A and B are shown apart, each in its own frame.
Chain A
Amino acid sequence: MFITEILNALQFSMTLFLLSVGLTIVFGLMKIVNLAHGTLYMLGAYIGLSIWTFSDSFWLAFVFAPIATAILGALLYKVLFKFIQRVDPMRQVLLTFGLIYIGLDSVRLIWGSMSHSITTPELFSNPINIFGETYPTYRLFVILVGITVLLILYFVLEKTKMGAMVRASVDDHETSQMLGINTEKILFYTFSLGCGLAGLAGVTVAPIVGVEAGMDMEVLVLTLIVVVVGGPGSLKGALIGSLLIGFVDTFGKVFFPELALITIYAAMALILIFKPGGMYSRL
């Protein structure tokens, strides 16, 4: 029972990590938060659903749904964000809020308002035995996806020149620009990558939580809490925040089912009281 819960918490944390990492780094770069991030997660799941329905292969969906959301993100950036870059940040945030409505209705128009489900791929359809407890292998796969992304991002951000440029732009936008870093380009790629990761999260959890209109807000709220708690702009913050919220949520539901959401709120309030900028803010 206990191991199952730990693994569930870990799986949930990894999903949150996939969602929050893009949001947090984009926030670090352009000081705006994309409230339509949850919408991209939902779109990832829906596009995955369509690919899976047509091709009958989960793996095609797994590969192409994130690419599709990354392209959508790139378009969004080129059409909207570039257009309004000189506008004050609050207006940009409100703009992304309008996108939530558009996303929600588009999904309903295209895929209908019924909820759908994706079958677990055959490779992971059998549960596994861990210390005498059966556990669905697919959830282990989700954890693996999260850890892989974490390691790749860590390597790119900390060990490559490109990553150093991203970190420099987060820390000091103007100075980086002056030193010849194309912050514009970095922002564009980070934004698209973040959207792609949101889509990846959507399609990977689709076999577990199903696909339905409205899944965007549930996740957006938790992702925002992770960003606030972890402190925007840092990979470490996103990871620690995701783990914290993932574990508090899962174990809160086990120990105090009545207060399920209150526990996260309490955790967030405590952290904000003692560390208003989040735990690992780079700003």
Chain B
Amino acid sequence: MNAVQYDKKLRLQLFIILCCSAIFVNIFGDYFTRFLLSEIIILSLFAMSLDFLAGRGGMISLGHAMFLGIGAYSTAILFINFNIDPFLCSLLAVVIGLIIGYLIGFIIVKTDGIFFIMITLALGEMFHSWAYTNDFLGGSDGISGILRPKLLGMDLNEPLFFSYYLLILLILVYAFLAAVTDSPLGRNLDAIRQNSGRVLSLGGSVKLYKSASFGISAAIASLAGSLYAQLNGFVSPEISHWTVSGEGLIMIIVGGIGSLSGAILGAVVVHIIQHEFSKLVDWWMLLMGGGFILVVLFLKEGLWGLILKFKNYIIENK
């Protein structure tokens, strides 16, 4: 799968526009829009983790919701059973996601393309049914009673503050992923995606780079899972269902794979469409599947490609 045309400046511009509109919505919104905004920011984090994996690492994972689940469940267990501070829980969830992601990555990155899709899908579904039947994880009921952190004297149970908290995390993750993309690791990943055999023969450790990127991506997905658990106050196995992984994939394909801020745009568009359509009709999955197929067929670079074309059009006509 090819990543989109690379444009650092446009990436930042789009990200700033998205952040500004998030702040705007947060200031003027009510309780429900703020909740929706929080959901979208968390999904954006998830979409960015997938985008990094697919766009840089060239690995399309259909089981990434597993790491959402790992993050959410570890936050829940650390908070409920060990009484650890919620903020620390999120940090630990990131570390747990990183370690598990790296270990799983180490085993599965030797496969690629379709094999990778098949294995990640299988792993994700297994995690889901394991969480579903495990008594310690609360079975199908999940775990409830997760609280949000208190930071710098601010109680994040207040939706306005929590959205800002999420937005700050989003900016940090964006800055981190953008830096990794432009770092030697990112360049190596680009090279591996284009021709892994050549990187190998030049002495690059393909496996190490790939599992590192899988670990990074898993850590960010795990952070998103942890925040999702804190947003809702509970976690259920549904969070790691294949449809969630699938929605993440739809988001990055609609946004444009490898564009990072395009993934956020994809998350915004897909989640709002889903949110609004599921209110109106009960066959929104049909619409989503159909729309997704059309994007795959006709809009190869997603919304990012459209924006890029629009930008070039303006420059030419100036």
Contacts and interface: CB of A to CB of B under 8 A. Distances in A.
B117 to A, nearest CB: 6
Interface in B272-296: 283-286, 288-290, 292-293, 296
Nearest to B107: A269
Interface of A: 27, 31-33, 35, 84, 87-91, 93-95, 97-102, 104-106, 108-109, 217-218, 220-221, 224-225, 227-228, 258, 260-262, 264-265, 268-269, 272-273, 276
Given A217-B125, A224-B122, A262-B130, A91 B289 contact: no
A95 B290 contact: no
A261 B129 contact: yes
List the 8 closest pairs (A to B, CB-CB), nearest first.
A101-B289, A105-B286, A102-B289, A98-B293, A105-B285, A90-B1, A98-B292, A224-B118
Contacts of A32: 114
A217 B124 CA distance: 11
Given A93-B114, A109-B286, A264-B126, A98 B1 contact: no
A93 B117 contact: yes
Main secondary structure of the interface of A (DSSP, over half): helix
A221 to B, nearest CB: 4
Contacts of B60: 90, 94
B242 interface: yes
Nearest to A217: B242
Contacts of B117: 33, 35, 93
Contacts of A94: 60, 249, 253, 292, 296
B123 A265 contact: yes
Contacts of B205: none
B283 A105 contact: yes
Contacts of A262: 126, 130
Nearest to A99: B289
B246 interface: yes
Contacts of B2: 88
Interface in B92-140: 107-108, 110-111, 113-115, 117-119, 121-123, 125-126, 129-130, 133-134
B37 interface: no
A185 to B, nearest CB: 24
A98 B114 CA distance: 16
A104 B285 contact: yes
Interface string B276-318: 0000000111101110110011000000000000000000000
Nearest to A261: B126
A57 B152 CA distance: 70
B62 interface: yes
